[in-house]
Structure 1
Amino acid sequence: MSSVGTPGEGQYWYNVATKSIERGPQSDWSQLLGPYDSEDEARNAMAKVQARNEAWDEQDEEDD
């Protein structure tokens, strides 16, 4: 029996479908953002995504 656990086990994930925090990946990978080291980081995942998207949009506008 292997002692290797599931990748990301013990870390936190943000589920974009349910808008909830998971400890260890419990849902389909296509619905998860992470892994994060803390529950607070996972809770703020969507804010981080939104900020990055806005920065990329601004960069795209500057490139035009």
Structure 2
Amino acid sequence: MSDDENLWYYSVSDGSVHQGKGTHVFDRMGPYPDRATAERALEIAAERRKAADAADEEWNN
């Protein structure tokens, strides 16, 4: 199994989590190091977006 196949991905279309790149590139988020982290993919993305928005706001002011 390659390194990519050992990593975890979140499927945007149905919310499933799976090991390996099983879904199309535009339908997956990841890779994540483990299942628990992949299950938090949307939460992680929201946290990153919030941090980026805050950085943009700080830079603009």
Normalising by the smaller structure, the TM-score range is 0.7 to 0.9
Question: Partner letter of residue 11 of structure 1?
Answer: L
Aligned counterpart in structure 1 of residue 31 of structure 2, from 29, 35, 47 = 35
Secondary structure of 1:60 counterpart: helix
Aligned residues: 60
Report deviation, 1:10. 2.5
Query: What residue ranges of structure 1 are gaps of 5+ in the alignment?
Result: none
Query: What residue ranges of structure 2 are gaps of 5+ in the alignment?
Result: none
Aligned counterpart in structure 1 of residue 51 of structure 2, from 49, 52, 55 = 55
The answer on 1:44 being equivalent to 2:52 is: no
Aligned-CA RMSD value: 1.5
- With 31-40 and 5-14 compared, the bigger mean Cα shift is at 5-14
Which has more helix, going by share of residues?
2
Q: Percent identity?
A: 27
Aligned counterpart in structure 2 of residue 19 of structure 1, from 15, 22, 28 = 15
- What TM-score, normalized to structure 2? 0.82
Structure of higher CA gyration radius: 1
